[in-house]
Amino acid sequence: MGEAVAPFGFSLLPSELADHVAQLLARQLYRDVELYDGASRVAVYCARELGRAFRRAVGHLWQLFAPKRWVVCRPFSRCAMRADAVPSFVEGVMRFHCTRLLDDIPLGGATHSSIYATVYEACSVPHPHSLCEPLHAAIGTVGRRLVRDGPLLQLSLGQRGRFQRLVHHMFRFLDAHYVARRAWLPTVERTLGAMFDEAEA
């Protein structure tokens, strides 16, 4: 059987239908999908064609539910965030908290638990699968970019303090499990404060 070819004109789908498909694709990010057949490859190709419709449907919030993979480790395997999703996840968390603070919307308990659980899973898997190092690095690099490019600069002085506390709370397991054993590394809280201080300098 030859390789499947994406149907011509897929990008010309009506906007309503394209948005509906984008919503379904967004839900797939909860799953670890293997592309075993041509039809699946076509679906991924078509997903790329959606572009603007996908972003309109799910925006940055999809990054809070980063794609995962099964990590095989003894005595049992577990599901954890993929390494290539770390920068997007950190950006999603920061943008999410920034938007909530600007709109004065409280953080729900379910969202808090979901984000914290994702960080916990990523940090607690054994070496070499642990994502502690890339998560710690991403907090500084992504945070500085978001301050430099504008989104976090919209926060008032008081909001910045709340932002630091909220984001640090999400990543506090990283400080306790990773930074505490490496005295030369800055804590998450210190990194978050430094990125605002550098912007004002």
Share of the chain above pLDDT 90, in %: 23
Written as six digits, the tokens of 110 are 């379910």
Of 83 and 51, which is predicted with more confidence?
83
Residue 19 has a CB neighbour count (10 Å cut-off) of 16
DSSP 118-156: HHHHHHHSPTTS--HHHHHHHHHHHHHHHHHHSGGGGS-
pTM across the whole model? 0.70
Residue 117 has a CB neighbour count (10 Å cut-off) of 11
- Annotated domain spans of the chain: 1-59, 66-200
Average pLDDT score over the chain: 76
* CA pair distance 169, 33, nearest whole angstrom: 31
Predicted pLDDT of residue 30: 44
* CA pair distance 87, 145, nearest whole angstrom: 11
Q: What is the pLDDT of residues 136-190, one digit of tens each?
A: 999 999 999 999 887 888 999 899 999 999 999 999 999 988 888 888 899 998 9
Give the residue carrying structure tokens 């979901």: 114
Architecture of domain 66-200: Up-down Bundle (1.20)
Please give the C-alpha separations between residue 100 and each of 53, 54, 86, in angstroms, as whole numbers: 23, 22, 21
Predicted pLDDT of residue 5: 43
Of 84 and 46, which is predicted with more confidence?
84
* CA pair distance 110, 117, nearest whole angstrom: 10
Cα angle vertex 148, ends 55, 146, to 5°? 40
Predicted pLDDT of residue 140: 94
pLDDT-derived band at 6 (thresholds 50, 70, 90) equals very low
The torsion defined by the Cα of 123, 125, 130 and 135, in degrees rounded to 10, comes to -20
| 128 preceded by a cis bond (ω within 30 of 0) | yes
Q: What is the pLDDT of residues 39-67, one digit of tens each?
A: 655 555 565 555 555 555 555 555 677 77
